[in-house]
């Protein structure tokens, strides 16, 4: 009798385990996979070790220089798995020393400034805060400085001084990535606002308090009457 009862208990336990595993498998099969192919990273330190595993004691298999662009495969606590060369070889880098962005790696084979436009576009919708210089909040010149710093170009902090960087470009010769400056009032001679030309008469900029990073036409009456000129940083 006891043997029969024990056999029934064992059978019930096995049946319950089978049902549990079947349910877990069905849930796992319906989960939406995460597409890590739409992330890329930019190295933010002079030299970054790539390790074989996500461990500080793991062997170093490569070294990346500052401003190197890499494909991000996935993210772990404190570590980012990257494809660090064109052959797709993978390794791990410290998450502290790489800035991760959504989207595809900018196309550097097109207009040189297109990389700046692509990076700036990842901050669309970020709130304007005067003095803001980080991806959380930007003012107009803070956005320009941050984007170009990420690409390895050091430019001045405020709009008036940024109009001294690079080379002067006329309205007719603007290309994507060029800085576009605007006077505080028509003909005032003082540049108080700056944006980045994206093409087709449009710029991306952080306008003012209460607004967000967005696209705006430079041909509208407000900005066209205050246009101070363009500056090409990448050439």
Instruction: Give pLDDT tens digits for 128-138.
Output: 999 999 999 99
Two tokens at 144? 């320009």
| Cα 108 to Cα 181: distance, rounded to the nearest angstrom | 24
pLDDT-derived band at 33 (thresholds 50, 70, 90) equals very low
Task: Please give the average per-residue pLDDT across 15-37, as a whole number.
Answer: 45
Task: Please give the average per-residue pLDDT across 34-40, as a whole number.
Answer: 68
Percent of the chain beyond pLDDT 70?
81
41-50, 89-98, 101-110: which range is least confident on average?
101-110
pLDDT-derived band at 36 (thresholds 50, 70, 90) equals low
Contact between 234 and 153 (Cβ < 8 Å): yes
* DSSP H or E run through 123: none
Q: Give the pLDDT of residue 11.
A: 47
* Tally of CB atoms within 10 A around 99: 13
| Cα 65 to Cα 80: distance, rounded to the nearest angstrom | 16
End-to-end CA separation in angstroms for the chain: 90
Max CA separation in the chain (angstroms)? 103
Two tokens at 214? 């967005």
Contact between 154 and 161 (Cβ < 8 Å): no
Q: Give the pLDDT of residue 164.
A: 96
Q: Which residues are catalytic?
A: 140, 193, 205
| Cα 54 to Cα 74: distance, rounded to the nearest angstrom | 12
Give the sign of the dihedral formed by CA 198, CA 124, CA 75, CA 94. positive
Task: Please give the average per-residue pLDDT across 196-213, as a whole number.
Answer: 96
Coil, helix or strand at residue 206: coil
Residue 116 backbone phi and psi in degrees, to 5: -65, -40
Q: Which residues pair with 95 in a beta bridge?
A: none
Single out the residue of 226, 160, 172, 174 nearest to residue 203, CA to CA: 174
pLDDT-derived band at 37 (thresholds 50, 70, 90) equals low
pLDDT-derived band at 163 (thresholds 50, 70, 90) equals very high
Q: Give the pLDDT of residue 213.
A: 97
Contact between 199 and 218 (Cβ < 8 Å): no
pTM for the whole structure: 0.60
Q: Mean pLDDT of all residues in the chain?
A: 85
Strand 133-134 relative to strand 167-169, pairing: unpaired
């Amino acid at each position: 009798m006891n043997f029969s009862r024990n056999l029934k208990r064992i059978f019930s336990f096995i049946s319950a385990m089978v049902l549990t595993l079947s349910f877990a498998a069905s849930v796992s099969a319906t989960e939406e996979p995460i597409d890590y192919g739409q992330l890329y990273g930019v190295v933010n330190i002079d030299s970054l070790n790539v390790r074989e595993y996500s461990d500080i004691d793991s062997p170093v298999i490569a070294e990346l220089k500052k401003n190197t662009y890499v494909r991000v495969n996935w993210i772990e606590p404190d570590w980012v798995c990257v494809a660090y060369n064109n052959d797709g070889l993978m390794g791990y880098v410290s998450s502290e020393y790489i800035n991760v962005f959504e989207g595809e790696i900018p196309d550097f084979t097109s207009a040189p400034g297109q990389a700046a436009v692509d990076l700036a576009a990842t901050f669309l919708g970020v709130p304007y805060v005067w003095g803001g210089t980080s991806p959380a909040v930007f003012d107009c010149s803070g956005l320009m400085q941050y984007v170009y710093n990420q690409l390895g170009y050091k430019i001045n902090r405020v709009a008036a001084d940024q109009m001294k960087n690079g080379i002067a470009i006329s309205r007719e010769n603007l290309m994507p990535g060029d800085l576009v400056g605007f006077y505080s009032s028509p003909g005032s001679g003082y540049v108080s606002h700056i944006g980045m030309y994206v093409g087709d008469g449009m710029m991306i900029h952080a306008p003012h308090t209460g607004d967000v990073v967005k696209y705006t036409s430079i041909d509208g009456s407000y900005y066209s009457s205050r246009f101070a000129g363009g500056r090409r940083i990448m050439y």
